[in-house]
Structure 1
Amino acid sequence: MNEHLDQMPSGFFRLSKDYFILSTNKTLLNILSYNQAELVGKFVHTIFSNSSSAFFQLHFYPLITEKNRVEELYIELKSKSGKIIPVLLYANSLHNGEMLCNVVPITKRNQYIDQLLEAKKIAEKRLTEKNELNAQLKLTLKRLEEKQEELLKVNLENHQYKKETKKELELAKKIQETTLTKAFDNHHLQIDSHYKASSELSGDIYGFYQINEYQYGIILLDVMGHGISSALITMSLETLFQRLITKGVATDLVIQELDNHLHSYFDNNEEAWHYCTAIYLFVDTENQTIEYINAGHPPALYVETSGQLKELQSSTPPLGSFKGIEFRTTKFTYTQGARILLYTDGVSEPLEHGHLSDILKAYTADSLKTLKDKLMESLEREGEEYYKNDDQCFILMDLK
């Protein structure tokens, strides 16, 4: 369990699609007086009171199925000793069918509300008793003020919880960005990139790696959608393609393994299905060749110093679309001084058709940095506002 999740002020647990507990944080274990081994693998109703088990089945399942999320569902948990603990339940459904659940104990809040109601009744009753009216009103007002202060404290605790959750998302974004490979420049290649997520987390991922003295692998993927679900998929794909590429695995096998990996996620959960466009280039600088596969991705642009341009078009559907696809490579010889642009649809869609090609040809004699700055300037100034909420990512490469 992630250290940050263990330190969350609320209880956390992860459920399988069959409602078995897969993991918990320490906060939940402390609330229920269990240890990890006693809960993991158990049916979720183990931690519910009898009434809440029925309520959970009637209300939780329809909500998580239709909306993929549950907010402020009041239920009662049952501790190891049998103690009943009222909580508010929040949940999200992942695309593999698993569910992430948070529970916030509200025992104190219920006590405060009950006490406020009691104070109100006393105040109303004393209003009819003239002899004790003033004394009782003062006492009641004092009690109300005390309870309001206590409620304010609870609200501040809730606000702190929201701030900590936001910090967790920001940390996840930072971790995602640190996995991206950095620009490099040697006597064979110069590579630079641009990456801008549309929200906290992105569905775009890329990597470029030197395999040996003369061989390099460059990959760019775009998972359907953006946000937490897409980001989780990109992180798992990044771990896989980094291992395959750096080992020098053949181009078609790299793409095949990524396709198999996506299918393994969603074989038993079609509603959570995600696909992914991808383009992978295997560059051999000794023989001056490029071998590539484009799986449903926008065509990469290859331009020579003469201005002659070639599009590296898609030849197969996106990864995760259909099983049994045969991924075939395309190979060509490049000329020294040529330049390549790889990009996602978040870069091409905001601009007019042919705009990227025009920029690439217009700046063939300029430095890679100048070209990168021009592309970013075009996206900012000329891109249509409707498309600016999509993830943006591109890679520039000079073949020396």
Structure 2
Amino acid sequence: MESNLNTLPGGLLTLSKDYEILSINQTLLDMLHYDKEQLMGKSVRSILYKSTQAFFQFIFHPLFIQKQEVEELHLQFMSQKGEEVPVLMYASAKEDESISCVVVSNKKRNNYENQLLEAKRIAEERLVEKEQLNAELKRVLEYLEKKQEEILRINKQNHQYKMDTQKELKLAKKIQETILTEAIDNEHLQIESFYQASNELSGDIYGFYQINENQYGIILLDVMGHGISSSLITMSLVTLFQRLISKGVPSNQIMKELDDQMHHFFESDDDAWHYCTAIYILIDTKEQTVEYINAGHPPAIYRDSTGVQKELKTQGPPIGSFKGINFKSSQFSYTRGARILLYTDGVSDPLEQDYLSSWIDQHAFDSLHGCKEKLSKTLQEERNSYYRSDDQCFILIDLK
């Protein structure tokens, strides 16, 4: 990078189409406390906070794919010292398919927040000093004493309501689990799945269906959030994708109808808007091909019999994000003995970066059922140790 660009007040960054760092100016290096050699060729995710990595994957990437530019995106970089560095980033595509980024420090926002906190502290101290507050508190206490009996009665009613609600949620959970498809194991392929809701109900859903003698459709969806609202959306989508896949409807049409359905749900209620990441795979065992569409979902991992891996990456934004999206599928030939792993972000987030890619290599010769048990055990250990609960779902496929 030319010396006059190195001293600009803002950071300059050039990324490859795979988000590897091709160039970086001295201003940004000083901001992050790195030497240039430490970052060149590394993924930009290596300098993002972990929470920001998911935001980058599911917001920045789809927006950039759609518009070829991103304006004023709030990100949290992480310096070599582990410090949080808030920035605004602007990105645009270059003719050579690389990505040019301008990075501006956003520390002023933190200063404003500190000023607000200080003002709040001063206001609270002054309020405490006023006799009017004491008098008001006394009246509140007297009121609470008079209403104590009524509150106890309401609490009893609430407890009964909670018990009734829990019973209903358990029933709903059983209904949700009954629609999940059973494992498949025949001469052509084997499919195993794992499904764990963070609460009674889940926003993750999947299905795999034999379309005809040679073709199988596999779909995995993750509705924004988890709980009752997300689960209701998944239940509404199941009937639709089950019918479309079983009839052998083309991949792009399946995703288009799911996208239309999501927009229809919230047509007159923007405040309730949800989006849904999804990945659909069509396997043809006669032609030995895999066709897929990834709509904002974590990339599935394909490993052939020789150990070569391929990521089935996002090709566009999640369904329900923008109206009028045209979904395009990709296709490749597979070799017998290959394995595919599909998963939701509740599986990948608790684990280290690239853990799943290494894991699928380490267990390449384990039985599919054994792999399922080992990965589910690892996720349970991570859940118990420190990670915030989230819906977890993954699908393992062996191509015989």
Provide the C-alpha distance between the structure 2 equivalents of 1:337 and 1:223, rounded to a whole number of angstroms. 32
Return the alpha-carbon distance in structure 1 between the equivalents of residues 257 and 158 of structure 2: 44
Structure 1 position 309, deviation (Å): 0.6
Please show how residues 186-201 of structure 1 align to structure 2 within 5 Å.
186-201=186-201
Match of residue 365 from structure 1: 365
Question: Take 1:161 and 1:271, find their aligned partners in 2: how far apart are those partners?
Answer: 27
8 Å contact 2:279–2:295 — kept in the other structure?
yes
Normalising to structure 1: TM-score of the pair?
0.60
Does structure 2 conserve the Cα–Cα contact (< 8 Å) formed by 1:303 and 1:340? yes
**SS of the counterpart of 1:257?**
helix
* 1:216 corresponds to 2:216: yes
CA distance, structure 2, for counterparts of residue 197 and residue 292 of structure 1: 26
Matched residue of 1:233: which SS?
A: helix
Secondary structure of residue in 2 paired with 1:175: helix
In the alignment, which residue of structure 2 is the partner of 1:4? none
Mapped to 2, the partners of 1:366 and 1:388 lie a distance apart of 30
Aligned position for 1:293 = 293
- Which of the two has higher C-alpha Rg? 1
1:162 and 1:301 map into 2 onto residues whose CA distance is 42
Partner of 1:350 in structure 2?
350
Change (3 A) 1:271 1:308: same
Residue pair 1:346, 1:388 contacting (<8 A) in 2 also? no
**Secondary structure, in 3 states, of the residue corresponding to 2:216?**
strand
Q: Is 2:206 the counterpart of 1:206?
A: yes
Q: Which whole-Å CA distance do the structure 2 matches of 1:342 and 1:158 have between them?
A: 41
Cα distance in 1 between the residues matched to 2:221 and 2:155: 42
Partner of 1:397: 397
Partner in structure 2 of residue 277 of structure 1:
277
Structure 1 residue 236 corresponds to structure 2 residue 219: no
Q: Give me the whole-angstrom Cα distance separating, in 2, the residues matched to 1:154 and 1:327.
A: 52
Percent identity of equivalent pairs? 63
Structure 1: 5+ residue runs without aligned partners? 1-116, 118-147
Report the Cα offset of residue 154 of structure 1.
Answer: 9.3
> Using the alignment, how far apart are the partners of 2:348 and 2:152 within structure 1?
50
2:43 match: none
Counterparts of residues 68-217 of structure 1 (less than 5 Å):
159-217=159-217
Tell me by how many angstroms 1:381 deviates.
2.8
Q: Contact 1:194/1:395 (CA < 8 Å) preserved in 2?
A: yes
Partner residue of 1:265?
Answer: 265
Q: Do residues 305 (structure 1) and 330 (structure 2) align?
A: no
State the Cα distance separating 1:177 from its structure 2 match: 0.9
Query: AA paired with 2:215?
Result: Q
| Equivalent residues of 2:297, 2:344 under 8 A apart | yes
Distance 1:241 1:223 in 2: 14
User: Shift of residue 264 of structure 1?
Assistant: 0.6
| Corresponding letter in the other structure for 1:189 | L
Aligned pair in 2 of structure 1 residues 338, 169: CA closer, same or farther (>3 Å)?
same
Distance 1:317 1:152, change over 3 A: closer
1:29 alignment partner in structure 2 = none
How far apart are 1:268 and its partner, in Å? 1.8
In 2, distance between residues paired with 1:228 and 1:216?
30
**Alpha-carbon deviation of 1:396?**
0.3
Q: Is the 8 A contact 1:350 1:385 kept in 2?
A: no
Instruction: Answer yes or no: is 1:329 the counterpart of 2:347.
Output: no
CA distance in 2, matches of 1:354, 1:342: 14
SS in 1 for 2:242: helix
User: What is the deviation of 1:385?
Assistant: 4.8
Unaligned runs of 5+ in 2: 1-145
Tell me the distance in 2 between the aligned counterparts of 1:332 and 1:360.
20
Query: Does the Cα contact within 8 Å between 1:183 and 1:193 map onto a contact in 2?
Result: yes
Shift of 1:160: 3.9
Report the Cα distance in structure 1 between the residues aligned to 2:301 and 2:224, rounded to whole angstroms: 22
